[in-house]
Amino acid sequence: AQSVTQLDSQVPVFEEAPVELRCNYSSSVSVYLFWYVQYPNQGLQLLLKYLSGSTLVKGINGFEAEFNKSQTSFHLRKPSVHISDTAEYFCAVSYNQGGKLIFGQGTELSVKP
């Protein structure tokens, strides 16, 4: 079965430190990859997406992610986090354009002063 695995359920980090949130997917076919952020009691906001082309994708709020086909990974990174980045982050994959999204379990990023 196709699946998305976010390897860390919680990531605590100090303000201004770099962070990496890991995401792996299972697939033998082409995929479309997304990272969403969810603040408490809110819907999901798109951070960035990979559809094709350059494997390094830059998104909003200083986040970026790199698509690695050989490792079936799409890890999210930010060189220096802020308190306001504290939120739940979801990695998602779609196996056809405009198709259903399969979500990972989510990673809770907690930025401490």
CA gap 57, 102 in Å, rounded? 20
Is 34 near other proteins (CB under 8 A)?
yes
* Residue 22 contacts residue 47 (beta carbons within 8 Å): no
CA gap 62, 67 in Å, rounded? 17
Written as one string, the DSSP assignment of 32-63 is EEEEEEE-TTS-EEEEEEE-SS-SEEE-GGG-
Helix (H) or strand (E) holding 76: strand 73-78
Is 51 near other proteins (CB under 8 A)?
yes
Is 54 near other proteins (CB under 8 A)?
no
Site size for other proteins, by CB under 8 A? 20
Q: How far is the CB of 56 from other proteins (least distance, A)?
A: 19
x/- map, 83-112, other proteins, by CB under 8 A: -------x------xx-xx-xxxx------
Is 50 near other proteins (CB under 8 A)?
no
Q: How far is the CB of 70 from other proteins (least distance, A)?
A: 24
Name the site residues for other proteins (rule: CB under 8 A): 32, 34, 36, 41-46, 49, 51, 90, 97-98, 100-101, 103-106
